[in-house]
Amino acid sequence: MLTRKQHELLTFIDAHLKATGFSPSFEEMKEALQLRSKSGIHRLISALEERGFLRRRHHRARALEVTRLPNEAGRELAVVAPAPFAPNVIRGDFSGRFPAVRAANEAAAVHLPLYGRIAAGLPIEALRDQGAQIEVPLALLGNGEHYALEVAGDSMVEAGILDGDTVVIRKGDVAENGQIIVALIDDAEVTLKRLRRRGNSVALEPANQRHEIRIFPADRVKVQGSLVALLRRY
Q: Based on the residue annotation, tell me whether 193 is a catalytic residue of this protein.
A: yes
26 CB-near residues (< 8 Å, 6+ apart): 38, 41, 42
Report CA torsion sign: 194, 30, 62, 70.
negative
Contact between residue 224 and residue 181 where contact means Cβ atoms under 8 Å apart: yes
Cα(179)–Cα(181) distance, rounded to whole angstroms?
6
Active-site residue, from 23, 193, 222, 226:
193
Q: Hey, is 128 helix, strand or coil?
A: strand
Cα(104)–Cα(190) distance, rounded to whole angstroms?
34
Q: Based on the residue annotation, tell me whether 155 is a catalytic residue of this protein.
A: yes
CB-based burial label for 181 (10 Å; 0-12, 13-18, 19+): buried
103 CB-near residues (< 8 Å, 6+ apart): 92, 109, 137, 139
Distance of CA 217 to the CA centre of its chain: 20
Contact between residue 207 and residue 22 where contact means Cβ atoms under 8 Å apart: yes
Active-site residue, from 23, 30, 155, 226:
155
Q: What is the DSSP letter of 154?
A: S
Residues annotated as part of the active site: 155, 193
